[in-house]
Structure 1
Amino acid sequence: MDPDDLPRARGDAASLLAKESLDTYSQDELIERIAILEAEIERVRAHHARTAEHRRAADAFFRPRESD
């Protein structure tokens, strides 16, 4: 995938990372970078799950009541 095809993240940090040359990194540095990025992906996924649950709870609370 071409980095230019990635959606733009708030602050554009992800697109800056995607455009960075990896040629100067050693094998060990690349493995460390992957671990850091995987940890960040997990953090974002966890936050997304929390906010999605919050949204579901709010939607359920504010759902119009059924009339009898």
Structure 2
Amino acid sequence: MDDDEIGKPKGHEVGMMLDAMSVEELEERIAMLEREIVRLRSAIEARKQTRNVADALFKI
């Protein structure tokens, strides 16, 4: 294992220390988190649509 693998966490944890990260690393984290937000919003929308279809089927 080289030093880069030891020193850089693979993901982001809320509240993690940011002092040792460069501007570029921070920007990469922001981009990663923005992509994750889009993914999460898509999952929410898919679940809402599924719920709406189920509600429509069971409406009397």
Calculate the TM-score normalised by the size of structure 2.
0.76
Identity %: 41
The unaligned stretches of length 5 or more in structure 1 are 1-15
Structure 1 runs (4+) deviating above 3 angstroms are none
Where structure 2 has 5 or more consecutive residues not aligned to the other structure, the ranges are 1-11
Give the number of aligned pairs.
49
Q: 2:39 aligns with which of 43, 46, 52?
A: 43
Cα RMSD of the aligned pairs, angstroms, is 1.3
The one-letter code matched in structure 2 to 1:20 is M
Per the normalisation by structure 1, the TM-score is: 0.68
Which structure has the higher relative contact order (CA within 8 Å, separation 6+)?
2
